[in-house]
Amino acid sequence: MIIDEKLRWFGFWTLDRLRGGQVRKYYNQIREGYQKGTSIEENNKKIQKLIAHAVRTTEFYKEYREDTPLEQLPVVNKDTFRNNYDAFLSDVYKQASDNRIMCTSGSTGTPLSMVQNKDKINHNTAGGIFLGAVGGYYIGMKEAFIRVWVNNVRKSKFQLLAENMIMMDSSAMDDEALEKMLGVIEKKKVKCLVGYSSALGEISRYIKEHQVDTSKFCVRSIIPISESMPVGVRQDLKKQFGCPVRAWYSNEENGIMGIQRLEDESYHIDTESYYYEILKLDSDEPAEPGELGRIVITDLYNYAFPILRYDNGDLAIAEKKVKNGRYQLFLKELYGRRSDMIYDCNGKAVTPYIITNNMWDVKGVKQFRFIQETETSYTLWLNGDREKMNVEDILSRIQPYLGEEAQIKIDYVDEIPVLNSGKRKYIENRCEKYKGK
């Protein structure tokens, strides 16, 4: 098994070398930027080069000057891309035969297709390999990827063989499905688990409730994706499998952009591939140091579909470390989708982590969803063993963060549905006042 994995590792890099070594080149750049920081001067050159290309080759940016500073370009989002799709396509790349189409899941709206040129694909590959290695996953390791495998992301038998991967579908996560999953993970000697945080959380819950003996499992690395994972779930998985649990920060349209650090819950961003701005919640002005703001991404290598100042809907508090003309960026707190933010009775934004981190160890709770209905009323859906749930304990954990006026209603349900993408929504804001935020 180890020989087979090493052959895949060396085989990949040998093939890359025969093709010109672009992935290795980018891998080394990303590794250096991660370890030493990214050159501010070189980063600025990349940004201006991308802007000049976008002005020359796309309809959307043609009215701007090639030397326009980044901050003078408009902030865009998924709706901007959908409504002006053809205008964002570069005339130089849109007919290229080696382009790739990436599709968002459409969890919170209409799916979006995004074109990537070959150089961007190579950079994504390099970033994935490096950030995978940081998390303990190496090319060739037996991997189980847990997600909803819709047609546009399904892999062929040849791809699965080449990547040593098992596709595990998270559409069904009942106890029968979880038992089968764990059976395959043990029998196939899976070494890396990659998957939606909620799916990995369900596996952890099943192990705990059924006292599954994991001592014979071979898992060495767990990488949650797409959703935030409660601290307690992360700690449980780490104990259950005896390996690091480090989440990727990623999306379909850009790629893998960062990885969670071992020492805390923050994310180390790949600043060689992406330039991040953190802007205020209610304007396009830069957020103050330590202030919660919107993540706005400039993808430095997608020339087929230039992504400049893309507000992807996530919120974060960032820390930028600068030394000797180089910088590193850390997302100290990552709050996920703006639509998942909740607010206390005084209208102050409250991180959804106060809910997820307080619910993870409540006895009897199998699934939950917390919903803000109005400015002062909330609903908590609970699925599980009602006799074991201590509602007073649950309310005492949550209410202090929301205010004395908060009215929290408990609804017991038999099942909490997942989104079309297979992700499980823990937090939802239905209050009309906050829908535009």
Highest mean pLDDT among 2-16, 170-184, 301-315, 341-355: 301-315
pLDDT(204) > 80: yes
| Cβ-based neighbour number of residue 321 at 10 Å | 10
Listed residue (122, 145, 144, 125) closest to 133, CA to CA: 125
Specify whether the CB–CB gap between 164 and 8 falls below 8 A. yes
Which pLDDT value is given to residue 420? Answer: 59
Instruction: Tell me how far CA of residue 25 lies from CA of 20, 38, 368, in angstroms.
Output: 9, 15, 45
Instruction: Concatenate the DSSP letters of all residues of 146-190 into one string.
Output: EE---TTT---HHHHHHHTEEEEE-S--SHHHHHHHHHHHHHTT-
For 340-349, what is each residue's pLDDT tens digit? 678 899 988 7
Consecutive H or E run containing 380: strand 377-384
Mean of the pLDDT values across residues 265-269?
92
Specify whether the CB–CB gap between 307 and 58 falls below 8 A. no
Which pLDDT value is given to residue 35? Answer: 96
Rounded CA-CA distance 87/226 in Å is 28
Rounded CA-CA distance 233/187 in Å is 24
| Cβ-based neighbour number of residue 411 at 10 Å | 11
* SS3 (DSSP) at 56: helix
Rounded CA-CA distance 126/119 in Å is 11
Specify whether the CB–CB gap between 311 and 79 falls below 8 A. no
**Least confidently predicted of 37-46, 112-121, 181-190:** 112-121
Mean of the pLDDT values across residues 197-202?
86
